[in-house]
Chains A and B, each alone.
Chain A
Amino acid sequence: DAMVIQNPRYQVTQFGKPVTLSCSQTLNHNVMYWYQQKSSQAPKLLFHYYDKDFNNEADTPDNFQSRRPNTSFCFLDIRSPGLGDAAMYLCATTPGSASTDTQYFGPGTRLTVL
């Protein structure tokens, strides 16, 4: 089945130690998104790629970076994780950027910062 895959499902890092989260998709969708979701809150959009075009949300901290080396893969890099960055990180895709497009989510990566 076509899907959105996130690895690892659980990631533990130390305060200040860089970490990379991975997302891949077999849907061949043009758009990929990264969200941060803290406990009992709605997902918060960090950035998205339309193909190779990167779009950063205005309030996304510089500590968060992303790479999309090809259509299938997208990475979230957290340069110096703080305790406040502990959260679930969700990757999602859409075929294009129409308002009617469904977003397809991966299972998420739960990040713990010690």
Chain B
Amino acid sequence: GDSVTQMEGPVTLSEEAFLTINCTYTATGYPSLFWYVQYPGEGLQLLLKATKADDKGSNKGFEATYRKETTSFHLEKGSVQVSDSAVYFCALSSMNTGNQFYFGTGTSLTVIP
């Protein structure tokens, strides 16, 4: 079935470093792809999304491009801040999942000053 595979963590970076969190998907159709962020003790917040191939989602300096040729939706940020420390989830939704969300396992990011 449709699914996402997400880079294992935890990831520790220094402030202002470049961030990449890898996410690849498996789907027979045309899924929508999402990145959610979860701060400690909180619910999930949408960070960005893309609903078709070649779309780029962006928000708060984070970007991800829906690449059908590599079945990927990697999350990037050019310069991370301490406040970006959180868990990041890649997610997929498609007709094959009954339009329900399939979440990746999450990647914990810690940014140190």
Chain A partners chain B: yes
CA distance A104 to B46 in the complex (A): 7
The answer to the question of A62 belonging to the interface, with a C-beta cut-off of 8 Å to chain B, is: no
The answer on a CB contact under 8 Å between A90 and B43 is yes
The answer on a CB contact under 8 Å between A97 and B99 is yes
Interface residues on A, range: 20 to 34
CA distance A42 to B97 in the complex (A): 16
Interface residues on B, range: 20 to 34
Contact of B41 among A48, A102, A110 (CB under 8 A): A110
**Interface, chain B (partner A; CB < 8 A):** 31-32, 34, 36, 41-46, 49, 51, 89, 93-95, 97, 99-101, 103-106, 108
CA distance A31 to B36 in the complex (A): 19
The answer on a CB contact under 8 Å between A108 and B51 is no
Contact of A108 among B31, B32, B43 (CB under 8 A): B43
Contact of A106 among B43, B46, B100, B101 (CB under 8 A): B43
Interface SS, A side: loop
The answer on a CB contact under 8 Å between A105 and B43 is yes
**Interface, chain A (partner B; CB < 8 A):** 4, 6, 40-43, 45, 48, 90, 92, 97-108, 110
The answer on a CB contact under 8 Å between B43 and A45 is no
Contact of B34 among A40, A98, A102 (CB under 8 A): A102
A-B contact pairs, 7 of them (CB 8 A): A90-B43, A90-B44, A92-B44, A101-B93, A101-B99, A102-B34, A108-B41
CA distance A4 to B101 in the complex (A): 18
CA distance A43 to B100 in the complex (A): 12
